[in-house]
Amino acid sequence: MNLEKVFFAFFIVLALTLNFGFFTGEIDNPAHHHSIELIAAIIINLIATILKFGDRSHMGAVLLATSLVANVQLIIAATVWAVVVFANNQIMTGDTMSIIVSLSGGALLANIVSVTLLVAETIISPRESSRTK
């Protein structure tokens, strides 16, 4: 078993699940979407993106692109949250939360594409022999 591939897949799937956790709930209810979960999703997505920089294949380029899309959307969502709550000193409204969750949904879609590509690449790649002769 290749430990590097395990870590790679772990962070890609963790990025998807954290983003999904933030995304689920009523879209306009701030009580259903916690800022810590959004921050965790951003951090894990950034780690997943860094891990994708080493792959020079075409599939690696597409995986990197999906991670970059997810990062941009999540960072914009966090920026909207920070501007509304901290810079403008306003309470979170349903309209603003809808914008944040919608951006998270776009990132979720990018993460789904990334995991789908990872699974497809795993299925079509030749298997490495882990047995010693």
Q: How many CB atoms lie under 10 A from the CB of residue 78?
A: 18
Q: How many CB atoms lie under 10 A from the CB of residue 121?
A: 15
- For the purposes of burial, counting CB atoms within 10 Å of the CB of 28, is it exposed (0-12), middle (13-18) or buried (19 or more)? middle
55 in a domain, yes or no?
Answer: yes
Low-confidence ranges of the chain (pLDDT < 70): 127-133
129 in a domain, yes or no?
Answer: no
Read off the pLDDT of residues 74-92 as tens digits, 9 standing for 90 and up.
999 999 999 999 999 999 9
pLDDT at 125: 80
Domain count, the chain: 1
52 in a domain, yes or no?
Answer: yes
Residue 63 in contact with residue 57, Cβ under 8 Å?
A: no
**Residue span of the structural domain in which 89 resides:** 3-124
Average pLDDT of the chain, as a whole number? 91
What span, in angstroms and rounded, lies between the C-alpha atoms of 51 and 45? 10
130 in a domain, yes or no?
Answer: no
38 in a domain, yes or no?
Answer: yes
Rg for the chain (alpha carbons), in Å? 17
Q: How many CB atoms lie under 10 A from the CB of residue 64?
A: 19
Supply 122's token pair: 């795993």
